[in-house]
Structure 1
């Protein structure tokens, strides 16, 4: 398997899906949303899966699906919690470059609604701020490239990612 994919990681609301679809068109790559793959395989929305089987079991399913992805010249938008299972991240590193879409907490907070309805794998008692502080070092650990976004337009954000990939 060639290492010719672009794998987007980052917080929920960082723009992985939106930027990922636009980026794939701009660079002529296919597009995979790993959350959509999970939903298709499990036959349920993310929030339903988490409610039914719990956070840890969901993280295992997410990691398994991400580690089994076979892609060639694709932009892959991962779920925000993929970084909790190191083996999945190591597998993803073998098929592409990991790009962390780093966005200020304040912008994430503005963009997100109800985390549970959105299907965010949140630890019991955790706030969005707790989640941001816990995940940021993990995103940075696994990233090959960190793109700092300021909440600009989609087109400007895509340009930032393209520039970082060159």
Structure 2
């Protein structure tokens, strides 16, 4: 079995967790969601961490969580804000292939209905569109491969992840 990790990055609603778990099954790999580890370590929901401790604390704690990972042969679904930390992205890149699940802004908005409770890092005074425009080049920078997911079903995105992982 290939021991390389497959790391999924992308906007909120891009399907990192949903498609990641299915891709892991197809690839005979483990599945790991960094948001779940982060919540477990903090003993709070993501939105509560942001509300109670602020965005700077959230990003620093997320970075600590990512840097603590020592896994292989795993499909890793990351939090959408992971790209704010070069240290985190370098750590992830050392362990595998980074796949960016790309969405248009309109598709992202259509998919995320729980923006105020989801735990999305949007800087004070910024709009969701500002966050999108800020993150997009960061995702592109770190990606080994980009999958455009706007018109994909979950199954189509999973198939593309599996194909990319097997290359």
TM over 0.5: yes
RMSD: 1.3
Q: Does 2:71 match 1:71? A: yes
Counterpart residue number, 1:90:
90
Contact 1:67/1:89 (<8 A) preserved: no
Q: Does 2:53 match 1:62? A: no
How far apart are residue 146 of structure 1 and its match?
1.1
Contact 1:103/1:151 (<8 A) preserved: no
Q: Does 2:33 match 1:41? A: no
Distance, in Å, in 2 between the alignment partners of 1:93 and 1:3 is 14
Q: State the 4+ residue runs in structure 1 displaced beyond 4 angstroms.
A: none
Deviations 1:120-148 (A, max 9, x none): 01101221111111000000111111111
Instruction: Figure out how many residues of one structure are paired with residues of the other and give that number.
Output: 165
TM-score (norm 1): 0.95
How far apart are residue 3 of structure 1 and its match?
6.7
How far apart are residue 104 of structure 1 and its match?
1.5
Deviations 1:19-67 (A, max 9, x none): 1011000101000000000111111100001111100110011011112
* 5+ residue gaps, structure 2: none
Query: Which range moves more in the overlay, 31-40 or 112-121?
Result: 112-121
Query: Which range moves more in the overlay, 113-122 or 50-59?
Result: 113-122
Residue 116 of structure 2: SS of its match in structure 1? helix
Q: Does 2:165 match 1:161? A: no
Distance, in Å, in 2 between the alignment partners of 1:114 and 1:78 is 18
Distance, in Å, in 1 between the alignment partners of 2:86 and 2:18 is 25
Distance, in Å, in 1 between the alignment partners of 2:152 and 2:142 is 24
1:120-131 paired onto structure 2 within 5 Å: 120-131=120-131
How far apart are residue 115 of structure 1 and its match?
2.0
Q: Does 2:60 match 1:99? A: no
